[in-house]
Amino acid sequence: MKIDDIDAFVAVIRCQSISHAAESLQLTQPAITRRVQNFEQALGVELFDRNTKPLKPTLIGHQVYEQCRTILREMDALRELVASDAPPTGVLRLGVPQTIGDVVLLDALKQLRQQYPALRAQVATGWGSHLVGKIEKGELDAAAALFPAGKIFPDNIIGESIGKMELVVVCAKDKLPKRPGKLADIYDSGWILNPDGCGFRAGLQRTLSDQGLGLKINLETFGTELQLGLVAEGMGLGLVPRDLLERSAHRERLAAIPLKDFKPVMDLWLIFPRFLGNLQGPVESFGDLVARSLKKARDAA
């Protein structure tokens, strides 16, 4: 029984696909299939129901999977024990949401390179849930992502809140209501938001739904600055971090709408696998630098 075979078996269940497991482990599909078969032969049981699509584990397969996850966590702890004293080298794979990437990333990466010159940062962008998935699959070493306070992460992922980000509803300055109101007073104006999958949009939609209101989308588009430009043209309402509103080239044509029943605040989280070995120091530095960059941008606004 080999650790590589266990790793392949766990990857197939996690990814629910041999092809995706092969991509995750950077192996060929035949290699993954062979390792899973070797593991089944070593145990003397069938771990998958081959008559289902997507491939599903048998009852004993589920039980073996849980035990294998424990084994792999212990192996990670063992590797961390012997690797933690070695200087970090190679690639540090980081993730950030595009929403805050433009604000915090440049300074953070510059200082990280000064602290760890033998490390090369590789950055991916995406929604928070997408970045968590990449960490679970071993495709990222850490990410800074926006989630509500109290967010619960998978048991193999650590999440540390490193700051807070206030969100504001924005409109064209000439459309600013004369007095503070509620979401129900403005929701008919329609919204300019990121496509489905964005945490900001999901939070707004939940709040509207709780009030018996629908989410009226005027335009869906990526990019906060583009959204703010469209809002400034009077094409709808936006929902953006206050820090990005203050930095926007359209700031003079925009206004934040004071609302009595909607004051959203998101936590900025540093998320990373439970076992990082000698990358623990660089990851902690990355989180610290991102938090500092965010504060610096806020103070300069």
pLDDT in tens, 246-301: 888 899 999 999 998 888 888 889 999 887 777 888 899 898 888 887 777 666 65
The reply to whether 180 and 46 lie within a common domain is no
pTM of the full structure = 0.64
The reply to whether 189 and 266 lie within a common domain is yes
Of 24, 58, 83, the one marking the end of a domain is 83
Provide the residue range defining the domain that includes 38.
3-83
Judge whether residue 50 has pLDDT over 90. Answer: no
Question: What total number of domains does the chain contain?
Answer: 2
The reply to whether 48 and 95 lie within a common domain is no
Which has the higher per-residue pLDDT, 26 or 293?
26
The reply to whether 254 and 185 lie within a common domain is yes
Of 50, 83, 116, the one marking the end of a domain is 83
How many C-alpha atoms does 44 have within 13 Å on its Cβ side? 0
CATH code of 294's domain: 3.40.190.290
Strands (E), 62-115: 90-96
pLDDT in tens, 79-125: 665 555 666 677 889 988 877 766 677 778 888 888 888 888 888 88
Average pLDDT, rounded, for the chain: 85
pLDDT band at 35; cut points 50, 70, 90: very high
pLDDT band at 139; cut points 50, 70, 90: confident
Query: Can you name the residues that pair with 238 across neighbouring β-strands?
Result: 170
Nearest to 72 by CA among 116, 11, 123: 11
The reply to whether 65 and 101 lie within a common domain is no
The reply to whether 125 and 251 lie within a common domain is yes
CATH code of 37's domain: 1.10.10.10
At 299 the pLDDT is 65
- The tokens describing 128, both together, are 């928070």
Q: Are 34 and 67 in contact (CB under 8 A)?
A: no
Nearest to 95 by CA among 86, 87, 104, 83: 104
Of 28, 50, 83, the one marking the end of a domain is 83
The reply to whether 204 and 272 lie within a common domain is yes
The reply to whether 23 and 40 lie within a common domain is yes
Judge whether residue 66 has pLDDT over 60. Answer: yes
The reply to whether 287 and 213 lie within a common domain is yes
The reply to whether 15 and 155 lie within a common domain is no
Q: How far apart are CA 139 and CA 131, in angstroms?
A: 9
3-class state of residue 266 by DSSP: strand
The reply to whether 67 and 128 lie within a common domain is no
Q: Are 271 and 157 in contact (CB under 8 A)?
A: yes
> C-alpha angle with apex 261: 189 to 297, nearest 5 degrees?
85
3-class state of residue 203 by DSSP: helix
The reply to whether 62 and 128 lie within a common domain is no
